[in-house]
Amino acid sequence: DTGVSQDPRHKITKRGQNVTFRCDPISEHNRLYWYRQTLGQGPEFLTYFQNEAQLEKSRLLSDRFSAERPKGSFSTLEIQRTEQGDSAMYLCASSLGQGALGETQYFGPGTRLLVL
Amino acid sequence: AQTVTQSQPEMSVQEAETVTLSCTYDTSESDYYLFWYKQPPSRQMILVIRQEAYKQQNATENRFSVNFQKAAKSFSLKISDSQLGDAAMYFCAYRFSENTGTASKLTFGTGTRLQVTL
């Protein structure tokens, strides 16, 4: 068990460019979550997957954002036509999804995005 | 909508002393989970402790314990024998119970930054 990993850890891009982040959950965790955290705030829910199915999306997830989880393993979060307001830490978490203890979410180190 | 409020932006404690971080939440549900997460500077968020709302007994994990007051919708974290490594941002979080059938997303408070001094 190597924990949740995210890549890249840091990304600097120019406004208008597209960026893609990757998250690898803990193996055998069938639930995967994306959150966004801005400076001085707690993480805010963006979307979550159970296996390969995207079950819920927050209103924070505008049309420029898309997330996928092909084959129910790793997930990608793409932001198209980035804006300065997209600058934030993007956190990924996973959970086993079975039973009470299985609902504990384990977080990755995050991808810090800076849009210039 | 569920909300989580942490009214203490910053707290300070001396090493070996005890500190309590406050958290209140608002929900109309009766079955849910509450969590405290720790986020050290430039490091990932880790779970400190969790509490199931249907359990009356307060959760404890070594030096960490909670005071869960369901009627008051209060969920404070007590850290005993504070250590330098406890310095971090602490987030209180809420989520629905699995039985409600809604998304298991976490709703976080704004966090409390804990400083530990010698």
Each residue of A15-32: pLDDT tens digit? 999 999 999 999 989 899
Average pLDDT over residues B36-63: 92
Residue B33 with chain A: CB contacts under 8 Å? 100, 103
Please give, rounded to a whole number of angstroms, the shortest distance from the CA of B58 to a CA of chain A: 16
* 8 Å CB contact of A41 and B93: no
- Cα gap B87→B65, rounded to integer Å: 17
- A51 to A33, A55, A70, B99: CA distances (angstroms): 11, 10, 9, 19
Decide if pLDDT at A100 tops 70.
Answer: no
pLDDT score, position B41: 85
- Cα gap B57→B50, rounded to integer Å: 12
Average pLDDT over residues B76-93: 97
Average pLDDT over residues B70-94: 96
pLDDT score, position B43: 81
Neighbours of B85 (CB within 10 A): 9
Decide if pLDDT at B82 tops 70.
Answer: yes
Neighbours of A19 (CB within 10 A): 18
- Cα gap B21→A11, rounded to integer Å: 33
Q: How many residues does chain B have?
A: 118
Please give, rounded to a whole number of angstroms, the shortest distance from the CA of B95 to a CA of chain A: 9
For A42, the closest of B44, B91, B98 (CB atoms) is B91
Tell me which residues of chain B, numbers 30 to 69, contact chain A at a CB-CB cutoff of 8 Å: 33, 35, 37, 43-47, 50, 52
Please give, rounded to a whole number of angstroms, the shortest distance from the CA of A42 to a CA of chain B: 5
Decide if pLDDT at B40 tops 60.
Answer: yes
* 8 Å CB contact of A103 and B104: yes
* Confidence band, pLDDT 50/70/90 cuts, at residue A55: confident
- Cα gap A101→A104, rounded to integer Å: 6
- Cα gap A106→B106, rounded to integer Å: 11
Tell me, yes or no, if B10 comes closer than 8 A to chain A by beta carbon. no
DSSP 8-class letter at A112: E
- Cα gap A21→B22, rounded to integer Å: 34
**Closest among A78, A77, A93 to B95, alpha carbons compared:** A93
Determine what percent of chain A is predicted with pLDDT higher than 70.
Answer: 95
pLDDT score, position A101: 60
Decide if pLDDT at A4 tops 60.
Answer: yes
For B47, the closest of A56, A104, A109 (CB atoms) is A104
pLDDT score, position A99: 63
pLDDT score, position B86: 97
Each residue of A73-82: pLDDT tens digit? 999 999 999 9
